[in-house]
Amino acid sequence: MVELQTSRLDSVFHALGDATRRRMLRELAGGERTVSQLAEPFEISLAAASKHIKALENAGLIRREVRGRTHVCRLAPGPLASAHEWLSFYERFWTERLDVLERLLREEDARKTPPPRGDDP
């Protein structure tokens, strides 16, 4: 089970590693699009767009449905949620480390700052 999850995460991060595919996903967040609509903003052929879409499909990030001669794609958010969960561990890890660093720096600053002097006559 863990190996399957790792394999799925690997394919998700591989798919997300390409700017064209990330932009396609952003487009799909606004609703379903045809392959032609996904290819349109890029100066790429439909064959090249199909390869990007296939990588997104293999990662489970999108679903493609054939309607007559038209291929319609829609976002499948499940794998993105899994990737976010994986990344959240490291977000917590670094947040905790940075909180410790901030505390240590404040303590060091407090030791260096002389105590306020009273203006007693």
Consecutive sets of 10 residues in the chain, 121 residues long: mean pLDDT of each?
65 93 95 93 91 95 94 91 86 88 90 72 56
pLDDT at 35: 92
Q: How many domains does the chain have?
A: 1
Whole-model pTM?
A: 0.69
Give the E-state strand segments of the chain in sequence order: 33-34, 62-67, 70-75
Query: Per the domain annotation, does 121 fall within a domain?
Result: no
The domain in which residue 40 lies consists of: 2-76
Contact 52, 21 (CB under 8 A): yes
Query: Per the domain annotation, does 120 fall within a domain?
Result: no
